[in-house]
């Protein structure tokens, strides 16, 4: 069987950790892959732990004992977070995004895996110390953010639908009032998609009045789930009072100046403290 050099094992370990953050790998698993003794693997993991810390990538936690293993918990440093948020502001504020009626075209951004991976990295960093069982979102534009945050946090996602589908099995449906337009809308979630008593993180792309996030929180009560966090990519500054409390937004939109074609958007200061 093949043997590998130390720096090959270090590189491979870092690849494995980076591709599956927040996943606990056993030392046995690494021993088999690298055809190396557990003591060797243990030294390798120490080196990786040091490099992750020195390069500000987050932290490696080790679990000792017979079922011992190691997990990579990425946590973004302030400089990187700041850089990503400023890049997002630039992207979102471009004047040719303004559509008739004061709407903003954001679909390309929310469907760009590279950009959304950055968004997901910021959100997952903020919740890296929170125990989360499942991420909840509502179709359609929030799905990529939810999926890529789920990838970073190593948790499944449940997608609330706007209408019932035969392929969802038994569903729970609720009506909710859209915060901004006062319309009554319906959302449905498959019974099978969320275990009772889960700790959930609610994710959405955009928050104006907060009605959709409140609707999702109400839905969670039907599943006896506990909402341990709510994250949105953009919130509007107005109305200042939303229908939900304790949410995290990445960016705050001051307003659209339709005449001059300006979108005023800036990072949420709370994230940069």
What is the contact mask toward a copy of itself in residues 192 to 231, using x (rule: CB under 8 A)?
A: xx--------------------------------------
10 binds a copy of itself (CB under 8 A): yes
Q: Could you give the CA distance from residue 220 to residue 214 in angstroms, rounded to a whole number?
A: 10
Q: Smallest distance from the beta carbon of 269 to a copy of itself, in angstroms?
A: 27
Count CB neighbours of 79 within 10 A: 9
Sign of the Cα torsion 134, 140, 142, 144 reads positive
Closer residue to a copy of itself in complex, CB, 91/270: 91
125 binds a copy of itself (CB under 8 A): no
Token pair for residue 211?
């009605």
50 binds a copy of itself (CB under 8 A): yes
| Residue whose tokens read 């698993």 | 29
Radius of gyration of the chain (CA): 21
Closer residue to a copy of itself in complex, CB, 103/237: 103
114 binds a copy of itself (CB under 8 A): yes
Q: Smallest distance from the beta carbon of 192 to a copy of itself, in angstroms?
A: 6
79 binds a copy of itself (CB under 8 A): no
Q: Smallest distance from the beta carbon of 270 to a copy of itself, in angstroms?
A: 26
Q: Smallest distance from the beta carbon of 135 to a copy of itself, in angstroms?
A: 9
172 binds a copy of itself (CB under 8 A): no
Closer residue to a copy of itself in complex, CB, 23/270: 23
CA 123 to chain centre: 5
61 binds a copy of itself (CB under 8 A): no
Q: How far is CA 204 from each of CA 11, 95, 110, 138, rounded to the nearest angstrom?
A: 35, 23, 11, 7
Among 64, 167, 182, 246, binds a copy of itself (CB under 8 A): 167
Q: Return the DSSP state at 225.
A: -
Token pair for residue 11?
């590189």
List the one residue out of 149, 137, 244 whose CA is nearest residue 194: 137
Count CB neighbours of 43 within 10 A: 14
144 binds a copy of itself (CB under 8 A): yes
Report strand pairing: 69-74 vs 25-26.
Answer: antiparallel
Q: Smallest distance from the beta carbon of 271 to a copy of itself, in angstroms?
A: 21
Among 140, 173, 178, 188, binds a copy of itself (CB under 8 A): 140
71 binds a copy of itself (CB under 8 A): no
What b/e string do you get for 98-131 counting C-beta neighbours within 10 Å, with b at 16 or more?
beeeeebebeebbeeeebbbbbbbbbbbbbbeee
| Residue whose tokens read 């690849």 | 15
List the one residue out of 181, 175, 190 whose CA is nearest residue 134: 190
Closer residue to a copy of itself in complex, CB, 12/252: 12
Instruction: Using CB under 8 A, list all residues that contact a copy of itself.
Output: 2, 4, 6-8, 10-15, 17-20, 23, 47-48, 50-51, 54-55, 57, 99, 101, 103-108, 111-114, 116-117, 139-141, 143-144, 147-148, 150-151, 154-159, 161, 166-169, 190, 192-193
């Amino acid at each position: 069987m093949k043997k590998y050099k130390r720096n090959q094992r270090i590189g491979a370990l870092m690849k494995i950790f980076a591709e599956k953050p927040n996943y606990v790998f056993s030392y046995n698993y690494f021993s088999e892959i690298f055809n190396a003794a557990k003591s060797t693997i243990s030294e390798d993991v120490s080196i990786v732990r040091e490099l992750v810390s020195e390069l500000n990538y987050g932290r490696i936690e080790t679990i000792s004992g017979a079922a011992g293993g190691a997990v990579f918990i990425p946590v973004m440093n302030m400089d990187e977070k700041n850089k990503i948020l400023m890049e997002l502001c630039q992207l979102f504020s471009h004047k040719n995004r303004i559509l008739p009626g004061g709407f903003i075209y954001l679909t390309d951004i929310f469907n760009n895996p590279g950009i959304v991976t950055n968004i997901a990295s910021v959100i997952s960093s903020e919740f890296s110390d929170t125990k989360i069982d499942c991420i909840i979102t509502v179709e359609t534009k929030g799905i990529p953010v939810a999926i890529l945050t789920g990838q970073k946090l190593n948790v499944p996602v449940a997608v609330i639908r706007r209408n019932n589908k035969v392929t969802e099995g038994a569903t729970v449906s609720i009506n909710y009032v859209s915060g901004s337009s006062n319309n009554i809308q319906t959302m449905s979630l498959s019974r099978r998609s969320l275990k009772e008593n889960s700790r959930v993180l609610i994710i959405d792309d955009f928050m104006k009045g907060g009605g959709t996030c409140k609707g999702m929180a109400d839905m969670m009560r039907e599943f006896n789930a506990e909402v341990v966090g709510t994250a949105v990519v953009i919130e509007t500054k107005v109305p200042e009072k939303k229908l939900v409390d304790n949410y995290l937004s990445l960016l705050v939109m001051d307003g659209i100046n339709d005449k001059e074609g300006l979108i005023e958007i800036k990072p949420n200061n709370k994230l940069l403290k």
